[in-house]
Chain A
Amino acid sequence: MPEEFEEDEFEDEYDEEDDKNGGQYLTFSVENESYGLDIIYVTEIIGMQRVTEVPELPEYVRGIINLRGKIIPVMDIRLRFEKPFREYDEKTCIVVVEIQDISVGIIVDAVSEVITIREEEIVLPLI
Chain B
Amino acid sequence: MIKDDGKGLNKEAIMKKAMENGLGGDELGEMTDQEIFNLIFLPGFSTKEAVTEFSGRGVGMDVVAKNIESVGGKILIDSIEGKGTVITLKIPLTLAIMEGMNIKVGKSCYTLPIMSIKESFIPKPDEIFRGPDNNEMIMIRGQCYPILRLHERYQVKTEVTKIDEGILIMLEGDTRTFCLFADELMGEQEVVVKTLPKYVSRMKKIDGLAGCTLLGDGNISLILDVEGLN
Contacts and interface: CB of A to CB of B under 8 A. Distances in A.
Interface of A: 50, 52-58, 61, 64-66, 69, 71-73, 101-104
B206 A104 contact: no
Given A55-B209, A64-B200, 7 more contacts: A52-B212, A54-B200, A55-B154, A56-B154, A66-B220, A73-B200, A102-B199
A55 B155 contact: yes
Given A55-B156, A66-B220, A71 B203 contact: no
B196 A102 contact: no
Contacts of B212: 52, 64, 71
Nearest to A50: B219
B115 interface: no
B196 A71 contact: yes
A61 B153 CA distance: 18
Contact of B220 (A55, A71, A102): A71
Contacts of B194: 71
Interface residues of B, number: 23
- Chain B at the A interface: SS class: mixed
B209 A54 contact: yes
Interface of B: 108-109, 153-156, 194, 196-200, 203-204, 206, 209, 212, 214, 218-222
A73 B199 contact: yes
A52 B206 contact: no
Contacts of A64: 196-197, 200, 212, 220
A54 B198 contact: no
A102 B202 CA distance: 11
B108 A53 contact: yes
Contacts of A52: 108-109, 212, 219-222
B204 A71 contact: no
28 contacts: A52-B109, A52-B212, A52-B220, A52-B221, A54-B196, A54-B206, A54-B209, A55-B154, A55-B156, A55-B209, A56-B204, A56-B206, A57-B200, A57-B203, A57-B206, A58-B203, A66-B218, A66-B219, A66-B220, A69-B214, A71-B194, A71-B212, A73-B200, A101-B198, A102-B197, A102-B198, A102-B199, A103-B199
